């Protein structure tokens, strides 16, 4: 028998040590699963929203990788800036297609996602839309496209029901000239027409800064609108809210003020609009504070700590996209595109915004691959510097935290 | 109806004075250096942020913060002119017009993208110059707009006096008319180029700081005003400071009246820039050199 040498003991110890950390080391050493991300990170797109989505996505990726990745492999994301333009979105998706990504997620602008979905469809790449609301996206019936956010029909049917229940008779709607804005207003207009609510639609470019002449025009129409709805997802919504308020148009006792599209949920609302945002009504694509699960609470705390700002519903959607795709890949046990799509159709995944499942019904057309129970609610700020989580919930009524449908300003 | 017309005219006047301030800076640069500064909108944005941070970090009151913004953008303008535009004055560059377009456009790209990184992607707004609004009949004008318009008017008057009554202003005018003739009488044209670019940048920066409480700050806030400034410069007559002042006010009023009275109310706001373009087309058809334009100017 050969004597045991010191070097053998060391080698054996090293082997044991290596064996003890095999799963984690393997995961880190294995070839990563590559996901693609698309969204606006520079002008003319809504780069603020894109940045928030990217932060949330990376936070989720880091968490998944810290737990050993998916199928024993780490996740890696290739971030592509689409600048909020369809041509850049198409180019980004083409580039990602050459990078052999397992799936793509992201996007904030509906019109860009429409262009990207064409490319994803061409190459058969699963594409999970983060915050793109136009009905057209899922109505295309592409097997590759799924959506975690609510569609325009889901949101604005609810808004229409609320406005009808609240008794509004004369609506002025300022719509951004995009697929999102026009689609949203189409849904609203149809409902308002059914209920004899007079509707005056004004189209505005996202880059528009000066809106006072239009506000003056609306103030001088007879009868004066009893609700002014700015369906504007860009930061220009802050100007519109401020000008409407400074002109004594809305929110006032005669005219309620609504903003659709998301900017009213950012903390910058208060820096930009101050007391003008008190009594502002808006939709929030998150769950009520009382219904947040442990995943949501942990995400909110981590996001707040890391980025020094509370996450919006859009950030939660982005965070959940990574969870949905990770779960789908794990369920498919493969990064094959068709296997992932099939897994997503059967998926039940609990994220920060509830349990995700994607409809396979084509009735109505936009329901296909839509997360049909995506949370959405209407809130109305009643205090300065209020967080959306703390604002009174007006609608749906089973989530409402107040007994009124909307509060009129007293002064 | 007349009261409503007056409302739109008054509102357009307030907006137009701010337009005029942006355009006046662009005009000075064009008239002296004979280049179109495509980075003007970015300097306007930089001025807005400079004012904001002067208030937030240094505790400067809002109105003095406008002067801080103007001083900073003046320095940035002079540095840019010294570093990037001096090849224009030598024989090193063959295609001077193209060179000027590329470097000023690069200024725009660099500043705008750097602003996203440095200032963040989220909109900011400095405190108001004065809280509240004045009510004149149906018209409500915020003090912010009144202060911005009044300040812009004072700056424009000051600029006119500076150009007419000071030796530097007259030297700038001389260089704008003929560099060779100016050199003969002892004016250092290169120094005037730096002064002109710095002055133009300062006016843009001042406009940015004045507009910040009204429209908020974002890295892309200069995109649209710079386009409007080009319209005003051509409308008023390229190289004419009084022309850019009149042109700016006219544009503000025409846009306001266009939105207020265009028959299709649903599209009126979306067409607001088109009303300005229409005004420009009509003016150029009647007066091809613009309202107060001199003969065609080119890089010497």
Residue B292 lies in a domain: no
Asked if B121 and A47 come within 8 Å (Cβ–Cβ), the reply is yes
- Whether A82 and A88 have beta carbons less than 8 Å apart is answered as yes
Q: Please, how many CA atoms are within 13 Å of residue B85, restricted to the half-sphere of its CB?
A: 31
- Count of CA atoms in the C-beta half-sphere (13 A) of A147: 34
Flag whether B240 is in a domain. Answer: no
In a domain, B170, yes or no: yes
Note whether B272 contacts A213, CB cutoff 8 Å: yes
pLDDT computed for residue B75 by the predictor: 98
Q: What pLDDT is stored for residue B82 in this prediction?
A: 96
Would the CB atoms of A217 and B265 count as touching at under 8 Å? yes
Give CA–CA dist A128/A322, Å, rounded.
Answer: 9
Q: Outline where DSSP puts E strands in A133-248.
A: 145-147, 170-176, 198-204, 227-231
Are A368 and A359 in contact, with CB atoms under 8 Å apart? Answer: yes
Q: Is residue B275 part of a domain?
A: no
State which residue of chain A sits closest to B8, comparing Cα positions: A213
pLDDT at B86 over 80: yes
**Per-block mean pLDDT, blocks of 10 residues, chain A (411 long):** 46 43 54 97 92 97 96 97 96 96 97 98 98 96 97 96 96 93 95 96 87 88 94 91 92 96 92 95 93 95 95 96 98 97 97 97 97 96 95 96 93 59
Mutation site for B-interface testing, chosen from A108, A210, A255, A271 by largest number of B Cβ within 10 Å: A210
Contact list, B216 vs chain A (CB under 8 Å): 235, 238-239, 272
Q: Which residue of A has its CA nearest to B224?
A: A207
Is A225 within 8 Å of A255 (Cβ atoms)?
yes
Q: Is the dihedral of CA A241, A310, A207, B211 positive or negative?
A: positive
In this predicted structure, the answer to whether residue B296 has a pLDDT above a threshold of 70 is no
The structure's pTM equals 0.86
The answer, yes or no, to whether residue B226 has pLDDT greater than 90, is no
Q: Decide if B191 is inside a domain.
A: yes
Q: Which domains does chain A have, with CATH numbers?
A: 6-150+292-367 (3.40.50.2300), 153-284+381-395 (3.40.50.2300)
Tokens standing for residue B259: 């939105």
B118 vs B112: CA distance, rounded Å: 10
Q: Which residue has the tokens 């903390």?
A: A267
Identify whether the C-beta of residue A190 lies closer than 8 Å to the C-beta of residue A161.
no
Contact: B123, A271; criterion CB under 8 Å? yes
- Contact criterion met (CB < 8 Å) for B270 and A177: yes
Please choose, from the candidates B200, B173, B163, the residue with its C-alpha nearest in 3D space to the C-alpha of residue B77.
B200
Of A15-29, B5-19, B141-155, B238-252, minimum mean pLDDT range: A15-29
B163 falls within a domain:
yes
- Contact at CB, A202 and B121, closer than 8 angstroms: no
Task: Give Rg (Cα) of chain B.
Answer: 19
Given an 8 Å threshold on Cβ–Cβ distance, is A208 in contact with B260? no
Answer whether residue B291 is part of any domain: no
State the DSSP code for A31: P
- State the DSSP code for A394: E
Query: How do residues B163-172 score in pLDDT, each as one tens digit?
Result: 999 999 999 9
| Nearest C-alpha in B relative to A43 | B220
Contacts of A219 (CB under 8 A, 6+ apart): A247, A248, A249, B138
Is the CB of B15 less than 8 angstroms away from the CB of A209?
no
Residue among A210, A213, A248 whose CB faces B260 most closely: A213
Top residue of A176, A213, A384 to mutate, by most chain B CBs within 10 Å, is A213
3-state helix, strand, coil in chain B (%, to 5): 75, 5, 20
Return the residue in B44, B130, B216 with the most chain A beta carbons within 10 A, the one to mutate for interface testing.
Answer: B216
Using alpha carbons, select from A135, A230, A130, A216 the residue that is nearest to residue A173.
Answer: A230
pLDDT of B93 above 70? yes
Interface test with B, best of A217, A242, A262, A385 (most B CBs within 10 A): A217
Interface of A with B in 190-249 (CB under 8 A): 200-205, 207-214, 216-217, 219-220, 235, 238-239, 246-248
- Per the CB < 8 A criterion, the answer to whether A314 and A53 are in contact is yes
Has residue B261 been placed in a domain? no
* Phi, psi for residue A127 in degrees, rounded to 5: -130, 115
Pull the structure tokens for residue A375: 């949370």
Whole-number Å distance between alpha carbons of B86 and B168: 20
Q: Is B266 on the interface with A (CB under 8 A)?
A: yes
Nearest to A235 among B8, B123, B257 (CB): B123
SS3 B40: helix
Give me the interface pTM, i.e. the ipTM.
Answer: 0.85
User: In the prediction, which pLDDT does A2 show?
Assistant: 45
| A157-179 as b/e: b if 16+ CB within 10 A | bbbbbbbbebebebbbbbbbbbb
- Identify the three-state secondary structure at position A148: coil
By percentage, how much of chain B surpasses pLDDT 90? Answer: 71
**What chain B residue is nearest to A234 in terms of C-alpha separation?**
B123
Query: Cα separation of A389 and B76, whole Å?
Result: 43
Please tell me which residue, B265 or B98, carries the higher pLDDT value.
B98
Q: Which residue has the higher pLDDT, A342 or B223?
A: A342
Residue A16 pLDDT: 41
Q: What is the number of alpha carbons within 13 Å of residue A19 lying toward its C-beta?
A: 6
B220 part of contact set with chain A, CB < 8 Å: yes
Q: Between chains, do B12 and A213 touch, taking CB under 8 Å as contact?
A: yes
**Structural domains counted in chain B:** 1
* Chain A contact present for B56, CB below 8 A: no
What pLDDT sits at residue A212? 87
Domain range holding B101?
12-220
Q: Nearest CA of chain A to the CA of B112: how many Å?
A: 9
Phi, psi of B89 (to 5 degrees): -90, 0
- Restricting to B residues 135-194, those with a Cβ less than 8 Å away from any Cβ of A are 138-140, 142
Q: Please state, in angstroms and rounded to a whole number, the distance separating the CA atoms of residues B256 and A212.
A: 8
In percent, how much of chain B has pLDDT > 70? 98
Taking the C-alpha atoms of residue A314 and residue B32, their distance in angstroms, rounded to an integer, is 49
**The pLDDT value given to residue A21:** 43
Put simply, whether B2 touches A (Cβ < 8 Å) is no
Interface contact flag, A271 B218, Cβ < 8 Å:
no
């Amino acid at each position: 028998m050969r004597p045991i040498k010191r070097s053998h003991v060391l080698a054996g110890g090293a082997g044991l040590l290596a064996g003890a950390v095999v799963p984690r080391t393997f995961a880190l050493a294995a070839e990563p699963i590559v996901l693609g991300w698309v969204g606006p990170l520079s002008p003319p797109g809504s780069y603020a929203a894109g940045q928030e989505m990217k932060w949330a996505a990376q936070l989720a990726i880091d968490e998944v990788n810290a737990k050993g990745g998916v199928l024993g492999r780490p996740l890696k994301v290739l971030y592509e800036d689409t600048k909020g333009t369809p041509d850049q979105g198409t180019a980004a998706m083409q580039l990602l297609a050459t990078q052999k990504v397992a799936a793509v997620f992201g996007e904030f602008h509906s019109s860009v996602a429409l262009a990207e979905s064409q490319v994803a469809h061409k190459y058969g790449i699963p594409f999970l839309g983060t915050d793109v609301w136009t009905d057209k996206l899922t109505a295309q019936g592409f097997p590759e496209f799924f959506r975690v956010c609510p569609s325009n029909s889901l949101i604005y049917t609810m808004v229409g029901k609320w406005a009808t229940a609240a008794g509004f008779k004369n609506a002025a709607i300022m719509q951004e000239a995009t697929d999102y804005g026009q689609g949203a207003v189409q849904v609203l207009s149809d409902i308002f027409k059914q209920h004899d609510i007079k509707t005056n639609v004004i189209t505005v470019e996202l880059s528009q800064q000066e809106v006072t002449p239009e506000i003056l025009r609306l103030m001088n129409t007879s009868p004066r609108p009893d609700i002014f709805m700015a369906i504007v997802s860009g930061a220009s919504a802050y100007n519109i809210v401020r000008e409407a308020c400074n002109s004594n148009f809305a929110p006032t006792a005669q005219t309620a003020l609504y903003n659709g599209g998301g900017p009213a949920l950012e903390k910058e609302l208060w820096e930009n609009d101050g007391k003008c945002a008190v009594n502002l009504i808006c939709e929030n694509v998150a769950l009520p504070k009382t219904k947040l699960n442990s995943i949501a609470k942990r995400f909110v705390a981590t996001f707040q700590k890391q980025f020094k700002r509370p996450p919006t519903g859009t950030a939660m959607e982005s965070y959940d996209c990574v969870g949905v795709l990770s779960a789908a890949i794990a369920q498919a046990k493969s990064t094959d595109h068709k296997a992932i799509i099939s897994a997503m159709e059967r998926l039940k995944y609990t994220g920060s915004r509830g349990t995700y499942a994607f409809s396979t019904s084509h009735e109505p057309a936009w329901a296909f691959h839509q997360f049909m129970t995506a949370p959405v609610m209407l809130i109305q700020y009643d205090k300065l510097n209020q967080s959306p989580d703390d604002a009174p919930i007006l609608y749906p009524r089973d989530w409402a935290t107040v007994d009124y449908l909307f509060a009129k300003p007293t002064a | 109806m007349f009261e409503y017309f007056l409302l739109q005219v008054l509102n357009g006047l307030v907006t137009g004075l701010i337009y005029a301030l942006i355009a006046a800076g662009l005009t000075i640069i064009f008239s002296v250096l004979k280049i179109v500064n495509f980075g003007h909108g970015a300097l306007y944005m930089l001025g807005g942020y400079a004012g904001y941070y002067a208030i937030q970090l240094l505790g400067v009151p809002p109105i003095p913060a406008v002067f801080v913004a103007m001083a900073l953008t003046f320095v940035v303008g002079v540095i840019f002119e010294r570093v990037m535009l001096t090849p224009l004055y030598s024989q090193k560059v063959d295609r001077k017009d193209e060179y000027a377009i590329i470097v000023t456009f690069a200024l725009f790209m660099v500043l705008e993208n750097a602003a996203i990184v440095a200032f963040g992607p989220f909109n900011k707004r400095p405190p108001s110059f004065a809280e509240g609004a004045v009510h004149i009949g149906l018209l409500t004008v915020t003090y912010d707009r009144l202060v911005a318009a009044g300040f812009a008017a004072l700056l424009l008057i000051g600029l006119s006096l500076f150009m007419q009554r000071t030796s530097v202003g007259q030297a700038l005018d001389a260089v704008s008319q003929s560099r060779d003739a100016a050199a003969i009488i002892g004016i250092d044209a290169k120094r005037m180029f730096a002064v002109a670019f710095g002055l133009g940048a300062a006016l843009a920066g001042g406009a940015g700081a004045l507009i910040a409480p009204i429209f908020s700050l974002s890295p892309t806030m200069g995109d649209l005003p710079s386009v409007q400034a080009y319209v005003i410069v051509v409308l008023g007559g390229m190289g004419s400071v009084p022309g850019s002042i009149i042109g700016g006010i006219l544009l503000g009023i025409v846009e306001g009246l266009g939105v207020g009275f265009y028959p299709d109310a649903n599209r009126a706001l979306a067409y607001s820039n088109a009303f300005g373009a229409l005004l420009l087309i009509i003016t150029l058809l009647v007066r091809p050199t613009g309202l107060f334009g001199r003969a065609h100017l080119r890089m010497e």
